[in-house]
Structure 1
Amino acid sequence: MKQAIALIKQYYQAFNDGDMETFLSLLADDVVHDVNQGGREQGKEAFARFMDKMNHHYREQLVEMVVMANEEGTRGAAEFVVLGEYLNTDEGLPEAKGQKYRLPAGAFFDIREGKVARVTNYYNLEDWVAQVSV
């Protein structure tokens, strides 16, 4: 359990630091990524492309982090608040004008051999749209 919690904390620390090399190194090669209110992607390369896109459109820091794991250390969860800035318009979403947002979010993890094997992210898209549409 402690190793799983440490892995998830390291994953989010790398995210907050903008250290994509470390961030991606924590993923299994065949990682499954369930995109919030979207599809499922598989593989580290697909995840890297997703992160490139996200980093182009958004600047985010995750705060108020709470991390949990099962006793076996094979599953975990995190709840946090996203402090963000909408930098560049993302297709199908409102126009970006540097809007700031604060959004509760969470993620669920499968952990295999010390790596993130699955991450499923969730946040309320309608809440985000309302915040950036002001």
Structure 2
Amino acid sequence: MDTKALITAYYDAFNAGRTDEMLTYLHDEIEHHVNEGQIRRGKDKFREFNAHMTDSYKELLTDIVVFANELGDRAAAEFVVNGTYLKTDEGLPEARGQKYVLPAGAFFTVRDGKIARVTTYYNLADWTAQVCG
């Protein structure tokens, strides 16, 4: 699978709620760099993160555009997060089913045909303003 197809399959699985399938696209030594957070290393930490996110948020990504370098070892994606804040996340405003639409992006390192790094970026102040507004 080429890099663009790999990243597209990863996001297709996300949008379909198949978080276990997402793990199949990840390298065993995955590093998940989260916006405003710590680096999570390994598939177990990634699985825990997905479970937490599924519990607290319902999200659908739209307008996804995937880019990859010629070697296929680095990629990026730009998309819009269309979400509902379901359950209060520690240190964040109270959840009351608020809807949000948030531009976001991610950067990837690909090794051995798998995603070895995911770095996600979004504007937390924008998200906070939307759920508090």
TM range (shorter): over 0.9
* Runs of at least 4 residues off by over 2 Å: none
Output the aligned Cα RMSD: 0.8
Unpaired runs of 5+ residues, structure 2, are none
Aligned to 1:7: 6
Q: Using the alignment, how far apart are the partners of 1:32 and 1:91 within structure 2?
A: 22
Does residue 126 in structure 1 map to residue 125 in structure 2?
Answer: yes
Aligned to 1:42: 41
Aligned to 2:17: 18
Give aligned-pair identity as a percent. 56
The number of aligned residues is: 133
TM-score normalised by structure 2 residue count: 0.98
Q: Using the alignment, how far apart are the partners of 2:99 and 2:63 within structure 1?
A: 17
Q: Cα offset for 1:37?
A: 1.4
Aligned to 1:52: 51
TM-score normalised by structure 1 residue count: 0.97
Output one character per residue of 1:28-55: Cα deviation in whole Å (capped at 9) or x when no partner: 1110000111111100000000110011
SS in structure 2 at match of 1:67: strand
Does residue 73 in structure 1 map to residue 55 in structure 2?
Answer: no
Q: Using the alignment, how far apart are the partners of 1:99 and 1:90 within structure 2?
A: 13
Q: Cα offset for 1:74?
A: 0.2
Aligned to 1:88: 87
SS in structure 2 at match of 1:66: strand
